[in-house]
A and B are shown apart, each in its own frame.
Chain A
Amino acid sequence: GIQVEQSPPDLILQEGANSTLRCNFSDSVNNLQWFHQNPWGQLINLFYIPSGTKQNGRLSATTVATERYSLLYISSSQTTDSGVYFCACTSGTYKYIFGTGTRLKVLA
Chain B
Amino acid sequence: NAGVTQTPKFQVLKTGQSMTLQCAQDMNHNSMYWYRQDPGMGLRLIYYSASEGTTDKGEVPNGYNVSRLNKREFSLRLESAAPSQTSVYFCASSVVQGTQYFGPGTRLLVL
Contacts and interface: CB of A to CB of B under 8 A. Distances in A.
Contact of A95 (B43, B45, B96, B100): B45
Interface of A: 1, 4, 30-31, 33, 35, 41-45, 48, 86, 88, 93-101
Contacts of B99: 33, 45, 48
Contacts of B44: 98
A42 B90 CA distance: 10
Interface of B: 31, 33, 35, 40-45, 48, 50, 56, 58-59, 88, 90, 92, 96-102, 104-105
Contact of B45 (A4, A31, A35, A96): A96
A94 B104 contact: no
A86 B50 contact: no
A2 to B, nearest CB: 11
8 contacts: A31-B97, A33-B99, A41-B88, A44-B102, A86-B43, A88-B42, A94-B31, A101-B42
A88 B50 CA distance: 17
Contacts of A97: 45, 59
